[in-house]
Amino acid sequence: MRSRGDNGTTAHGEAVVTMPAWHLRDYHDDDLDQAIQIWDQSRRADENRVFPVSEVMAAAKAGQPGVVAVVGDELVGMAVAQAQGKRGWILLVALASRWRERGIGSALLAELERRLRSLGVRHISALLPAGAAGTKALENSGYQFRDDLTYYEKLEPPGTANAEVLAALGGRMLPEGRWDAMAGMEREKQVIERRVVLPLTEPTLADRYGVVPPKAVILFGPPGTGKTSFAKAVASRLGWPFVELFPSRLAADTSEGLAAALREAFADLAELDSVVLFIDEVEEIAGVRSGKAVDPGHGVTNELLKLIPVFREHDARLLACATNSVRSLDAAFLRPGRFDYVIPIGPPDPTARAAIWARYLRDSARSVDLDQLVKASELFTPADIEFAARKGAQAAFEREVTHRQGRPATTEDFLTAIADTRPTLTARAIEEFTEDIDTHSRL
């Protein structure tokens, strides 16, 4: 189908300049960037479309009827439909602003109708907000406006559609605010925000710039630095269910072995609409293989390596693996293509330690010398600081119960607690972590 504009003259000899020719063709995946631009131009009166852009593009990518109008290499219009038995739905009719009222919308609809009829569709419907782009094309193509219908809609809260599966996996929806509660650790937060969170929360914008949202990441660093907390914070920020797999528990729940248990768990995960899957101490099941066929861990590692690409095929999925020793992971596990990023989660610097102390001191922050606590807790992880803060607060609480002096916790209370707390980190651990950053981090 083609509509062609030709230059000519009127009866009075005046030049008539018409638009260049346009033609219709199938929608291709390479059209996505221009399609998004046309969508943006069509959003004035239809911000609340029944079918969001993500659903429209997913239908087109899945092979549902999709057709575009092009002038040369420029995409100037697009229409997408979906066949459901004998009924078809018009999901989108969008035109570039300067190409409207030129018959392109009607031509797009006519081509969609032809394709829907070939699929056995006999009843074609469109559900659009009042004044949405494409309304005039529908009216010009013989579609009847129905004012005797009332549309109802219910949006299910995230996670409820697969509540039984989620419960069986031991997963849960985490409360909002965990991301903001990650006090200190600003360097790590910025990296995870830019590389992981933003592409997942802004998928349309990411597509426009050719950014592929991550599907799997590794968080590595010394024990207690907050790897688990970051994974939970990301799930909270995304509003996705959080599921943690415990390899030891999986092995105990079946007589068929850990590899089979992993395979079954990943099959169950595929039923969820979205999920952040977390595996802590992943080196237990993805450690360096010995190369011997009798190695009991060999089959488990192989199974996990096969499951990750399948997991990556689904949208709204994020696998976050944490390890205290990234150097102990199998080389095949770390190979690009399985994990998008390998992110170090290191010990807090002085600024981060001050923020973490302030978070746990709360009202006591006004009565203590924060600088002294930061200096005294140099090798402390966030978990160590939390423990010392609670220990100091407990000492002040017990003193108040015993003596009723009305005196708040002091700097000495917390310094004493710091002295009684064995730090998780050692100079050697920090040295190895620094080496691992140079060798293994991928940002």
Task: Summarize pLDDT for 339-350 with one digit per residue, the tens.
Answer: 999 999 998 889
Q: Tell me if 116 is assigned to some domain.
A: yes
Lowest mean pLDDT among 8-12, 109-113, 261-265: 8-12
Residue 306 and residue 396 share a domain: no
pLDDT in tens, 76-126: 999 999 999 999 999 988 888 888 888 898 999 999 999 999 999 999 999
For residues 330 and 354, membership in a common domain is answered with: no
Examine the domain organization and report whether 271 and 373 are in the same domain: no
105, 140, 175 - which closes a domain:
140
113 and 164, same structural domain?
no
Phi-psi region of 317 (alpha: psi -120 to 50; beta: other; left: phi over 0): beta
The overall longest dimension of the chain from CA atoms, in Å, is 108
* Residues 341, 343: Cα–Cα separation, whole Å: 6
Residue 84 resides in a domain: yes
The per-residue pLDDT for 73 is 85
Residue 266 has pLDDT above 70, yes or no: yes
CATH code (residue 363): 1.10.8.60
Asked if 203 and 251 sit in the same domain, the reply is yes
**Residue 260 domain-assigned?**
yes
Most confident by average pLDDT, 30-34, 259-263, 293-297, 374-378: 374-378
The yes-or-no verdict on residue 155 having pLDDT over 90 is no
Of 31-35, 150-154, 159-163, which gets the smallest average pLDDT? 159-163
Average confidence score pLDDT of the chain = 84
Residue after which a domain boundary falls, among 111, 140, 169? 140
What CATH number has the domain bearing residue 123? 3.40.630.30
Do 237 and 380 fall within a single domain?
no
Residue 321 is assigned to a structural domain of this protein? yes
Q: What is the pLDDT of residue 303?
A: 87
DSSP string covering 350-402, please?
A: HHHHHHHHHHHHGGGGGGS-HHHHHHHTTT--HHHHHHHHHHHHHHHHHHHHH
Positive or negative, the Cα torsion across 353, 424, 326, 269? negative
Q: Is residue 149 part of a domain?
A: no
Same domain, 329 and 255: yes
Whether residue 150 lies inside any domain: the answer is no
pLDDT level of residue 261 (50, 70, 90 thresholds): confident
Residue 16 has pLDDT above 50, yes or no: no
Is residue 429 in some structural domain? no
Show the domain range for 326: 160-347+435-440
Which residue type is seen at 11? A
What total of structural domains would you count in the chain?
A: 3
Residues in the chain: 443
328-367 pLDDT per residue, tens: 998 888 888 889 999 999 988 898 899 889 888 877 777 8
Pairing of strands 317-323, 123-126: unpaired
- Two tokens at 5? 């504009």
Do 45 and 103 share a structural domain? yes
pLDDT at 45 over 60: no
Boundary (domain end) residue, out of 107, 140, 173: 140
pLDDT-above-90 percentage for the chain: 37
Domain check: are 341 and 364 in the same one?
Answer: no
Evaluate whether residue 43 is within a structural domain: yes
Q: Are residues 286 and 396 in the same domain?
A: no
Domain of 293, CATH number, reads 3.40.50.300
Question: What's the average model confidence in pLDDT over 392-407?
Answer: 83
**Residue pair 94/60 in contact by the 8 Å Cβ criterion:** no
Residue 193 has pLDDT above 90, yes or no: yes
Residue 400 and residue 296 share a domain: no
At residue 3 the predicted structure's pLDDT band, cuts being 50, 70 and 90, is very low
**Do 116 and 168 fall within a single domain?**
no
